[in-house]
Structure 1
């Protein structure tokens, strides 16, 4: 377990568990976490004893998204960012690497299950939706609030899971929905009270772990290729480019500056208040020469 700084890895019989382990920051994504997720998935993939991979979060929730203390409040140049003028290809290369790290959960030949309690918000929803199955506590929440300002979900699994209308609803509103609504629209497989969440995950993982690895591999490849044939790679490429643009639009630059002024929690509260963002943008200082933002 000491091999990783942002997560824990353990195996019990045929089930490998990856635990996002920054509970003091709601398991927020830092620079190390995406690559460590990939490394842990590859470790499970190489282990002939493992049939199923479970991803969960330590502490109060699954994952609250990218660490906005590091990526929004921090002034000046930060990883994946540079002084203006902004270079979109540098930004793309940084975020595309993170996207592919998360997508290791999708590409793994072994089925992956996201166990969601608390919240899988913003980048946390990216991680959960790259898994094959999502099982949520009834009062857990999932969604991508930065779609309101300052982000586009780069793995873009929403449309492939929900269809165009519900995907537009989730991505355009940035709404956080609970487990019951997630199941209703087909985003999650199952929802249960939180005290029964482990049992629900163990039930599915146990069922899958009794299937030969080659059968799991073949059936997962069949379903995945159908999704990939719909243009998943191109969708992710567009989304990753647009994510960088969203963080460097007038509204995106305003949001980062506001986070530096009042802290990211207050900036998020203002962003998600329902007031027209243009009002906040109209009050922001002129952004010429402002620092580029990082991902949040």
Structure 2
């Protein structure tokens, strides 16, 4: 589910569910948050890298292990707030966390990446939150802090996805590189950052995170979790859930997404 290895002062966490493009269940989210928190207490670690095995970073939340569309409103709010709080534990870790993103990074995958301190992506990665077309609200709403309100609206009011190149262009990612170079570039940055004294990394990250909190991060995420739970009860979301139960998730996704076409937002020539 989650592999761990250490390379010098860099801890590498690898999502290891390649058969489902590293779909994120509650257990996976908890394992990630726990491992990142534990690294904060480990004096031998200065930097954490999170990546995915197989073809993708993460294609989103695991719809096969939950009860989408069947929880009460209060239960759903509690469930979604719990997910949001797990990602906040990654952001609030004292150590810098770098996401190494390739392949699909959709929905829950963007929630995880968005809570990492730095995001490096493959040029051809596919990044977005298509679930907003039929299933609810983007849960953690870190988009506005990375890309600003206009690009957040452009992406979250259409559900369109973008390439890694575009993600770097608009600020969701720090840098985009060819897929073959992604691991080497991520580790180069991680080891470069790990040269800084641990207490200095901790102090500087704490100040920057405080800036995010002054911009309302915690309040916005609590608001988004409740809005998402309410949206799950909407006619569109209920129709999608019924379609998925009747014909399978793949068929429901295809019916939802085909009208939007398959073009990815990308940078100009």
Instruction: State TM-score, norm by structure 2.
Output: 0.93
Q: How far does the alpha carbon of each residue in 1:40-90 deviate from its partner, in whole angstroms, 9 at most, with x for none?
A: 11221111010000000011100011122334xxxxxx38943xxx3x222
Does structure 1 residue 232 correspond to structure 2 residue 217?
Answer: yes
Helix, strand or coil at the partner of 1:38: helix
| Cα shift at 1:15 | 0.3
Match of 1:42 in 2: 37
| Cα shift at 1:272 | 1.6
Q: Structure 2 unaligned runs (5+)?
A: 261-269
Instruction: State TM-score, norm by structure 1.
Output: 0.85
For 2:140 and 2:84, locate their aligned partners in 1 and report how far apart those are by CA, in whole Å: 6
Does structure 1 residue 9 correspond to structure 2 residue 4?
Answer: yes
Match of 1:283 in 2: none
| Cα shift at 1:116 | 0.3
* Higher relative contact order (Cα pairs below 8 Å, separated by 6+ residues): 1
| Cα shift at 1:176 | 1.0
| Cα shift at 1:21 | 1.0
Matched pairs, number: 260
Does structure 1 residue 132 correspond to structure 2 residue 117?
Answer: yes
Whether the 8 Å contact between 2:47 and 2:193 is mirrored in structure 1 is yes
Specify the structure having the higher radius of gyration (Cα). 1
TM superposition outliers: structure 1 runs of 4+ over 4 Å: none
Match of 2:266 in 1: none
Q: How far does the alpha carbon of each residue in 1:158-205 deviate from its partner, in whole angstroms, 9 at most, with x for none?
A: 001111111111111111111110111111101111110011101110
Match of 1:181 in 2: 166
Match of 1:219 in 2: 204
For 2:79 and 2:215, locate their aligned partners in 1 and report how far apart those are by CA, in whole Å: 25
| Counterparts of residues 113-262 of structure 1 (less than 5 Å) | 113-262=98-247
Q: Structure 1 unaligned runs (5+)?
A: 1-5, 72-77, 276-296
Helix, strand or coil at the partner of 1:196: helix
